[in-house]
Structure 1
Amino acid sequence: MGWDIQNLFRSHAWGIANSLHRRGLNNETAADLTQDTFVRVLTTPPPAASGNFNPKAYLYKISRNLGTNYQKREALITTVAIDDASVPEIADQKPSPEDIVHSRQCLLQTYNALAELPERTRQAFEMHRLGERTIAEIGEELGISTSRAWALIRDAYKHILSRVDAF
């Protein structure tokens, strides 16, 4: 049997969403589950059926099962309504111990990577990144062209990124 998904969607999507809405789901959830119904049919088509197979009934059965599963999952979740002003009080702003260790390791790797750079490249990078100088200012101070200053800074960035496990 051939499935014309576009035709089935045009013919039955509104009815499926409406039936899910009547079962107590809000409009957005009903629309999402309607799409999930058709995705389910696309990814796992129905088994080979006899001559009297009813695609409409099959679609409604899938949507009903998805709706039931959704409602069961929602029943397990306890939600508490809070206002926007309370969120900063709840969230812990401190980094986790793992994040602290990782940050320290990255800093050490960065320090070591900077130490590996040639003197002029390191100096140009530090002037740009730490001294907040423009590339033209760096070129003028080091007595090189701006394109050469940019090349030194770019090389430093590449070197550091190759040595640091930032992620």
Structure 2
Amino acid sequence: MYDDSLVSPVEQLYTRHHHWLRGWLHRRLGHSADAEDLAHDTFIRVLRTQQDVRELRQPMAFLATIANGLLINRWRRQAIERAYLEALAARPEGEEPSPETRYLMIETLLQLDVLLVGLSMQVRKIFFLSQLDGLTYPQIATQLSLSVAQVQRAMGKAFSVCYASRFE
């Protein structure tokens, strides 16, 4: 006979809901391997949380919330990787970065994305045009039909977020 008292609360949560969570993720992703990976990552997050899972009233909602956040992060990462690879494809031949440089660039872009997520889409776009594409403020203003002062204000907001994260 199986004695629940010998099993940790997270193990019980896993035993009771892993199959459901994997199916829930599979319906969203369409790939069982990806669903299994995200289900695993979800339970890793549960292990790291300080919340007592024995007190959960809706354990499936709890797991779905964590898994959904991981799913959004995965889609965001894929979008950033696609955009970076498209930008690389537009470069002249022979200027291909090493795999290590590509990895570091994607990681940096992901960190910037997380850092700037609280800013408006326009401020982020201005920041990336300046910092990644190397456009000057007047060039950005012309491209986006803004004044140079608007571009400067947007860059000030973006830099203040970067500065705050560096020194907090």
**TM-score bracket, shorter-length normalisation:** 0.3 to 0.5
Q: Which has the larger radius of gyration?
A: 1
- Which of the pair has the greater relative contact order for Cα pairs under 8 Å at 6+ separation? 1
